[in-house]
């Protein structure tokens, strides 16, 4: 009897302790209450400025209707937690700009990405995201962005404009002015202190992602169904891109997988564009732009572990300076050209065909590209990228 009584007491104590531990754990996991300030107060009219000294944190349980521009000023911070949805009400006036010294922290997860989309599923139905940093460019010490009219460039290679991770941007690309269209994500003079990874730009009317100088490093980039280039750089970008998967629409709409240049008016401007591009896959179409990769206007680059499929030309290099950098120098390695008519093409600035030296590129029959050859890479699955 005594032994059974002691067992009952022990069991009761165990149940009580377990309940207490569970209760504490449950309390710890509850979503913290977010008190809206500034532009976050009215979720149905989400627009305005985040001024110097203010931090605005969005509530992931709410949907924010973007009705105009969001401008993150020098010293301002906008924090967008995982699972937050921002829906733009159609129009070129709807976009997000991070000015020099401002910071955007949009950090999702594979299962709960941050989503920027539109109220209409039409490419170009809203602007996009524009980030302006203080890193070096080659169009002057500083310049004015063609999107958002904000200053960018400088001398701070390590500049930090925030962090974007597991972010999907849909239906961007509205006309900003004249013939200038927004890209899904535009990085102007962004420094390598900024984190950019696991970004999907989907069904935009211009480029998926474009980099204008700077030193930013990007990784795990998905660009799908965009009507212009999937990934583009210019103005002296010196960074890395590791893991890019691009695919055209089934009807062939779209241009290059990559378009890289140095400077439109001075191909020898410094700092010269010279990024390192690794682990990339570009899926083309039966119509539209012929080049998987087009490098021109003086850009340099190093390309490694690339898979191109269903293009007329794998790598097209144009302009004297770019040709001199690549021809015979093994700057293209680990390349697999699948269903591609011409593997590599070289043209002078005058447009004349340049004979290719054997050591210009190195092929690899089992190149993995973005991870799985022509198939969707594992890192892009899970729903966050729309693949």
What's the CATH number where 348 sits? 2.160.20
- Going by the DSSP 8-state scheme, the letter that residue 32 receives in this structure is P
Query: Which pLDDT value is given to residue 44?
Result: 98
Helices (H) then strands (E): counts for the chain: 2, 26
Asked if residue 21 is part of any domain, the answer here is: no
- Which SS3 state, helix, strand or coil, does residue 92 take? coil
Four-residue CA torsion sign, 358, 362, 363, 369: negative
Q: Give domain status of residue 1, yes or no.
A: no
Residue 162 lies in a domain: yes
Q: HSE, CB side, 13 Å, CA atoms: give it for residue 125.
A: 19
22 lies in a domain?
no
d(CA 187, CA 170): 17
Residue 10 within any structural domain of the chain: no
Structural domain total, the chain:
1
Q: What is the pTM of this model?
A: 0.91
Report, as an integer, the average pLDDT of 175-179: 90
Question: pLDDT (tens digit, 9 = 90+) per residue, 148-166?
Answer: 999 999 999 999 999 999 9
pLDDT digits (tens, 9 = 90+) for 189-230: 999 999 999 999 999 999 999 999 999 999 999 999 999 999
Give me the mean pLDDT over the 325-343 stretch.
97
- CA gap 142, 105 in Å, rounded: 24
Parent domain of 106: 34-379
Q: What is the pLDDT of residue 219?
A: 99
Closest among 27, 30, 49 to 38, alpha carbons compared: 49
Express as a percent the part of the chain with pLDDT over 90.
86
Whether the bond into 271 is cis, omega within 30 of 0: yes
User: What mean pLDDT is reported for the chain?
Assistant: 92
Is 80 exceeded by the pLDDT of residue 6? no
Residue 252's pLDDT is 73
Residue 295 lies in a domain: yes
pLDDT at 2: 37
Domain contains 16: no
Whose tokens are 């998905």? That residue is 222
Non-local CB neighbours of 173 within 8 Å, separated by 6+ positions: 123, 124, 127, 128, 181, 182, 183, 184, 204, 205, 206, 226, 227, 228
Rounded to whole angstroms, how far apart are CA atoms 199 and 239? Answer: 16
Kindly give, in sequence order, each residue whose CB lies less than 8 Å from that of residue 179, ignoring residues fewer than 6 positions away.
none
Residue 5 lies in a domain: no
Per-residue pLDDT tens for 16-65?
433 333 333 334 445 668 889 999 999 999 999 999 999 999 999 999 99
Task: Give the pLDDT confidence score for residue 30 in this predicted structure.
Answer: 57
> pLDDT tens digits, residue range 349-387?
999 999 999 999 999 999 999 999 999 999 999 999 999
Looking at residue 286, what is its pLDDT?
65
Asked whether the predicted pLDDT for residue 253 surpasses 50, the reply is yes
Q: How far is CA 139 from the centre of its chain?
A: 22
The torsion defined by the Cα of 152, 238, 243 and 300, in degrees rounded to 10, comes to: 130
For residues 49 and 51, what is the distance between their CA atoms, to the nearest angstrom? 6
């Amino acid at each position: 009897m005594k032994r059974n009584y002691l067992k009952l007491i022990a069991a009761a104590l165990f149940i009580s302790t377990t309940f207490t531990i569970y209760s504490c754990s449950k309390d710890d996991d509850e979503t913290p209450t977010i008190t809206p300030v500034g532009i976050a107060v009215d979720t149905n009219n989400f627009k305005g400025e985040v001024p110097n000294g203010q931090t605005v944190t969005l509530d992931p349980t709410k949907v924010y209707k973007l009705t105009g521009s969001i401008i993150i000023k020098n010293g301002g911070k906008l924090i967008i937690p995982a699972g937050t949805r921002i829906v733009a009400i159609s129009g070129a006036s709807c976009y997000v700009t991070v000015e020099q010294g401002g910071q955007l922290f949009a950090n999702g997860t594979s299962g709960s990405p941050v989503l920027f989309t539109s109220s209409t599923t039409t490419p170009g139905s809203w602007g996009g995201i524009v980030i302006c940093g203080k890193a070096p460019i080659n169009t002057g010490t500083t310049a004015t962005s063609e999107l958002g009219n904000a200053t960018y460039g400088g001398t701070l290679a390590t500049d930090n404009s925030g962090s974007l991770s597991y972010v999907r941007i849909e239906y961007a690309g509205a006309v900003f002015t004249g013939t200038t269209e927004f890209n899904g994500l535009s990085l102007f003079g962004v420094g390598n202190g900024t984190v950019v990874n696991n970004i999907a730009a989907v069904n935009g009317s211009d480029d998926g992602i474009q980099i204008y100088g700077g030193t930013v490093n990007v990784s795990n980039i998905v660009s799908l169904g965009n009507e212009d280039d999937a990934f583009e750089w210019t103005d002296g970008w010196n960074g890395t891109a590791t893991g890019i998967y691009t695919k055209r629409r089934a009807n062939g709409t779209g241009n290059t997988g990559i378009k890289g240049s140095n400077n439109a008016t001075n191909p020898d401007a410094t700092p010269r564009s010279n990024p390192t591009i690794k682990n990339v896959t570009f899926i083309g179409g039966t119509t539209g732009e012929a080049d998987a990769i087009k490098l021109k206007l003086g850009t340099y680059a190093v390309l490694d572990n690339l898979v191109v499929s269903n293009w007329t030309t794998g790598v097209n290099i144009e302009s004297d300076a770019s040709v001199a950098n690549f021809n015979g120098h093994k700057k293209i390695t680990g390349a697999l050209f699948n269903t591609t008519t011409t593997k590599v093409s070289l043209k002078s600035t005058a447009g004349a065909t340049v004979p290719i030296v054997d050591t210009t590129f190195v092929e690899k029959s089992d190149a993995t590209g973005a991870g799985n050859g022509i198939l969707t890479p594992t890192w892009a699955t899970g729903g966050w990228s729309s693949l």
